[in-house]
């Protein structure tokens, strides 16, 4: 029977007392048989003349059981102590290994933020359906989506849960990771999300002072998105 971690160790040792009992029985049987073969002649020669045949045979049997039982118990006890220490060492190693914090996952820019928002909204990796070139949403869905894009994504980015990369305007501009502080004063523009084009999704200042995109072509990390969705059972 096998298992993993500490649970696996406990499962594998459930039959340990039974195995020890069987081992003790076998050792006792073998020891008794061996003892009887070794001392049978000696008993017949030295004990029988004093006590008689029946008494000498009884002494032989009792001494065989006593010696074999003592030997079996001694060997079994030694084996038990050894295996118990070995199990304890293995359990300690597993406990130490399981208590180590998981290695931090380095976020990688590998998915459009537009696609990630659709994943969070739909609960699966898929795009929101289009109808006549526009997102196919009813009134209630539209309000939920607006709140997700403009408010919740901003909160996740500010907390560092959802890393977001963007490019400034210009041909030579590179994607840069926006620090969490950036999102204290910026948000993902919902109107640009309605364009249904990942490359057009951009961020704007929260105060609405300008409609000029601060950063655009927003991207994020698929691993970070999956980790968040798993944490909230999406």
Question: What distance separates the 2 farthest-apart alpha carbons in the chain?
Answer: 120
The whole-number pLDDT of residue 7 equals 40
For residue 1, give the 3-state DSSP assignment.
coil
**pLDDT for position 37:** 63
* Class of residue 156 by CB neighbours under 10 A (exposed 0-12, middle 13-18, buried 19+): buried
Q: How confident is the model at residue 210 (pLDDT cuts 50, 70, 90)?
A: confident
> What pLDDT does residue 9 have?
40
Find tokens 């969490």 and name the residue: 180
Summarize pLDDT for 5-42 with one digit per residue, the tens: 434 444 444 555 666 666 666 666 666 566 566 555 55
Q: How many CB atoms are located within 10 Å of the residue 132 CB?
A: 5
User: CB–CB of 202/214 below 8 Å?
Assistant: yes
Token output for 203: 């961020």
pLDDT band for position 216 (cuts 50, 70, 90):
very high
List the beta bridge partners of residue 166.
176
pLDDT in tens, 97-147: 544 554 556 789 999 999 999 999 999 999 999 998 899 988 788 999 999
Does residue 208 sit in helix, strand or coil?
coil
Q: What is the pLDDT of residues 144-192, one digit of tens each?
A: 999 999 999 999 999 999 999 999 988 899 999 999 999 999 999 999 9
Cα 191 to Cα 210: distance, rounded to the nearest angstrom? 14
Give strand pairing partners of 203. 188, 215
pTM value > 0.95: no
Q: Work out the mean pLDDT of the chain and round it to a whole number.
A: 79
């Amino acid at each position: 029977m096998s298992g993993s971690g500490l649970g696996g160790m406990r499962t594998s040792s459930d039959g340990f007392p039974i195995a020890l009992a069987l081992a003790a029985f076998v050792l006792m049987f073998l020891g008794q048989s061996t003892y009887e073969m070794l001392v049978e002649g000696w008993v017949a020669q030295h004990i029988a003349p004093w006590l008689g045949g029946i008494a000498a045979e009884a002494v032989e049997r009792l001494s065989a059981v006593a010696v074999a039982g003592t030997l079996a118990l001694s060997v079994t006890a030694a084996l038990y102590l050894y295996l118990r220490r070995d199990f304890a060492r293995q359990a300690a190693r597993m406990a130490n290994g399981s208590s180590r914090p998981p290695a931090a996952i380095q976020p990688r820019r590998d998915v459009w933020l537009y696609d990630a928002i659709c994943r969070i909204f739909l609960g699966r990796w898929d795009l929101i359906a289009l109808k006549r070139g526009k997102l196919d949403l009813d009134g209630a869905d539209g309000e939920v989506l607006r709140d997700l894009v403009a408010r919740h994504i901003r909160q996740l980015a500010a907390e560092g849960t959802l890393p977001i990369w963007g490019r400034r305007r210009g041909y030579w501009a590179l994607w840069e990771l926006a620090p969490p502080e950036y999102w204290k004063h910026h948000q993902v523009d919902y109107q640009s999300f309605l364009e249904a084009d990942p490359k057009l999704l951009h961020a704007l200042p929260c105060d609405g002072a300008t409609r000029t995109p601060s950063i655009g072509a927003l991207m994020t990390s698929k691993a970070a998105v999956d980790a968040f969705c798993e944490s909230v059972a999406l």
